[in-house]
Chains A and B, each alone.
Chain A
Amino acid sequence: MIGQLIALLLTFAVLSYVWRDNPLYRMTESIFVGVALGLFAAFEVRQVLLPRFWDRLAAGPATGAAWVATLLVILVVALMLARLVPPLAWLGRVPIAVAVGSLAGMAAAGFVRAVLVPQVGASAASLVITDSLAHERGVCLLESQPANALTNVACSFGPYLNQLFIFAGVVAGLVYFVFSRGENKGLRAVSRFGGWIVMMTLGVTLGFMAMAHFAVTIGRAQTMMETPGLALLALAIVVLTLLCLRRDPPKAV
């Protein structure tokens, strides 16, 4: 119960920012920064460095390749300390360069294999009548019971028209980004259509983003509703505290 009360106190202290910027909010923010840093640092030490490197190193050379690999890793990472010695500072860039190169290589390979090839392939496949279209037609007819001439036509052509729309949208979108100022009327028209597609995409993204943020708000409300008595007590304590504290400039935006 103490834990729940503390959680609610902290929640209301943060939400007090809605009224105005205040010392209680800033204190709570500082506590969060400290706890978050402590959490991440503790995990890096206890879950990453100790089991992955210290344990293996402590197991000794008898473990063979594992020990040698671990030692090499520690030596490379230790090069970062070279930055403290000016003549050797250039060595300190080696681990950073390795990390940047590795992550860039991994990202590029991942993007090509999991994004570029499948997405371009799926867009091109939009022009072909595939089994999945037949499946979509079946699902459409099932959901449109009772079937009539109109639903039959809609379900027969609807999925294929959608695929064509996607293909046209992808091409137009790429034209929009590459040729933002079209040289001729045709290209400008395609680019304009691409602009609409991008706007609709951004609209969908904004709508979904709003829903995600509503969920966070709903979550806080649900927490308050779990123990309404404690929530009211916490609210009362926070309000009293705010009244007692001096108001600091600047005011809330």
Chain B
Amino acid sequence: MTKAGAPIVCAMVAATYWTLEPVVDVARDGWLKTFAADLVIAIIAVVTLVAITGVLAREGRKVVRRESGHLNATLVLVAFALTFAIGVAEGPAGECFVWIFDYVYAPLESSLLALVAFALVDTALRRMRARSGETALLIATATLVMLGRAPTSGTVGTLITPVADWLTRVPNVAGQRVLLIGAAIAACSTLLRLLLGIERDYLGERRT
């Protein structure tokens, strides 16, 4: 087996195992399945740690070389060091770690998402103009669904809510099925390319 071929064969074997596993299922309680699952888990965990290390190394370089933004980079490193040290020492249920999660991470994550989310929705709806029948249909559908999902009373509620529900239960289901079927076919196509050794992007090789 060549040096280029070994990773490809490993990918093929792993893909074949996990594709056939639901059908064959003989390894349900066996150590083969535990080994296969643990291998994936370990690789994902280590890759995550390597990626985090990469980000920290980049921030560290900014600090060492006093590049633009080195003060913020220092903040990143200090915040990481504190959180990581407390997390590893105390564990996820530790008092200080829970405090950091409740009063630092959670409010920051929520606020950043609120900021980004609001800007996205605002931009999408401002820039959208009913230039064609189809875009007008999109905007009308979105507006009806938004109004139908909020509380409305009296005649307005009686008119809008059933329309919004119908849009969600009927045309939306049809469209989502099309998208899901397309995604399923794409996933099978990727698997086939992997099994045939055509897909090599994950090795850093360009497609010929």
A-B complex is real = yes
Interface positions of A (Cβ within 8 A of B):
3-4, 6-8, 10-11, 14-15, 17-18, 26-49, 52-53, 65-66, 68-70, 72-74, 76-77, 80, 90-91, 93-109, 111-113, 115-116, 119-120, 122-123, 162, 165-170, 173-174, 176-177, 194-213, 216-217, 219-220, 223
| CB-defined contacts of B48 to chain A, threshold 8 Å | 40-41, 44
Contact of A93 among B75, B177, B203 (CB under 8 A): B203
Contact of A90 among B4, B169, B174 (CB under 8 A): B4
Report whether A39 and B87 are in contact in the complex, using a CB–CB cutoff of 8 Å: yes
| CB-CB under 8 A for A65 and B146, given A52-B38, A111-B184 | no
Name the residue of chain A whose CB is nearest to the CB of B172. Answer: A204
Report whether A38 and B79 are in contact in the complex, using a CB–CB cutoff of 8 Å: yes
Report whether B181 and A174 are in contact in the complex, using a CB–CB cutoff of 8 Å: yes
Q: Closest approach, in angstroms, between the C-beta of A251 and any C-beta of chain B?
A: 15
Report whether A38 and B84 are in contact in the complex, using a CB–CB cutoff of 8 Å: yes
* A-B residue pairs, 7 tightest by C-beta: A42-B87, A34-B79, A201-B175, A38-B83, A203-B141, A169-B174, A207-B145
CB of B154 closer than 8 Å to a CB of A: no
Report whether B187 and A108 are in contact in the complex, using a CB–CB cutoff of 8 Å: yes
Q: Closest approach, in angstroms, between the C-beta of A203 and any C-beta of chain B?
A: 3
Report whether B139 and A203 are in contact in the complex, using a CB–CB cutoff of 8 Å: yes
Report whether A98 and B11 are in contact in the complex, using a CB–CB cutoff of 8 Å: yes
Q: Closest approach, in angstroms, between the C-beta of A175 and any C-beta of chain B?
A: 10
In Å, the complex CA distance between A48 and B88 comes to 12
CB of B16 closer than 8 Å to a CB of A: yes
| CB-defined contacts of B181 to chain A, threshold 8 Å | 115-116, 119-120, 170, 174
Interface positions of B (Cβ within 8 A of A):
3-4, 6-8, 10-19, 21-22, 31, 34-36, 38-50, 52, 55-56, 72-73, 75-84, 86-88, 91-92, 97, 99-115, 117-118, 120-121, 124-125, 134-135, 137-146, 149-150, 164, 166-185, 187-188, 190-191, 194, 202-204
Report whether B138 and A41 are in contact in the complex, using a CB–CB cutoff of 8 Å: no
- Chief secondary structure at chain A's binding surface: helix
17 examples of A-B residue contacts, CB within 8 angstroms: A6-B103, A11-B108, A27-B72, A29-B72, A97-B8, A99-B47, A100-B202, A101-B12, A105-B21, A107-B190, A111-B188, A199-B138, A207-B149, A210-B121, A213-B121, A220-B114, A223-B110
Name the residue of chain B whose CB is nearest to the CB of A43. Answer: B92
Report whether B188 and A35 are in contact in the complex, using a CB–CB cutoff of 8 Å: no
| CB-CB under 8 A for A203 and B142, given A34-B83, A98-B14 | yes
Q: Closest approach, in angstroms, between the C-beta of A45 and any C-beta of chain B?
A: 6
| CB-defined contacts of A11 to chain B, threshold 8 Å | 107-108, 110-111
In Å, the complex CA distance between A68 and B30 comes to 13
Q: Closest approach, in angstroms, between the C-beta of B23 and any C-beta of chain A?
A: 8
In Å, the complex CA distance between A94 and B125 comes to 46
Report whether B108 and A93 are in contact in the complex, using a CB–CB cutoff of 8 Å: no
Report whether B38 and A102 are in contact in the complex, using a CB–CB cutoff of 8 Å: no
| CB-CB under 8 A for A99 and B103, given A37-B56, A199-B134 | no
In Å, the complex CA distance between A4 and B103 comes to 6
| CB-defined contacts of A39 to chain B, threshold 8 Å | 83, 87, 100-101, 105
Name the residue of chain B whose CB is nearest to the CB of A207. Answer: B145
Report whether A103 and B75 are in contact in the complex, using a CB–CB cutoff of 8 Å: no
Report whether A216 and B110 are in contact in the complex, using a CB–CB cutoff of 8 Å: yes
In Å, the complex CA distance between A102 and B15 comes to 5
Report whether B121 and A209 are in contact in the complex, using a CB–CB cutoff of 8 Å: yes
Beyond A102-B15, A201-B179, A203-B138, 17 additional pairs, beta carbon < 8 A: A30-B73, A36-B105, A38-B80, A52-B42, A99-B43, A101-B12, A103-B40, A104-B15, A104-B18, A104-B191, A105-B191, A108-B190, A173-B178, A200-B175, A205-B172, A206-B138, A211-B150
| CB-CB under 8 A for A217 and B105, given A26-B72, A30-B79, A123-B177 | no
| CB-CB under 8 A for A165 and B171, given A195-B134, A196-B134 | yes
Contact of B18 among A7, A18, A109 (CB under 8 A): A109
| CB-CB under 8 A for A33 and B172, given A15-B111, A97-B8, A115-B180 | no
In Å, the complex CA distance between A116 and B185 comes to 8
Report whether B80 and A99 are in contact in the complex, using a CB–CB cutoff of 8 Å: no
| CB-defined contacts of A98 to chain B, threshold 8 Å | 10-11, 14, 39-40, 43
Report whether A203 and B111 are in contact in the complex, using a CB–CB cutoff of 8 Å: no
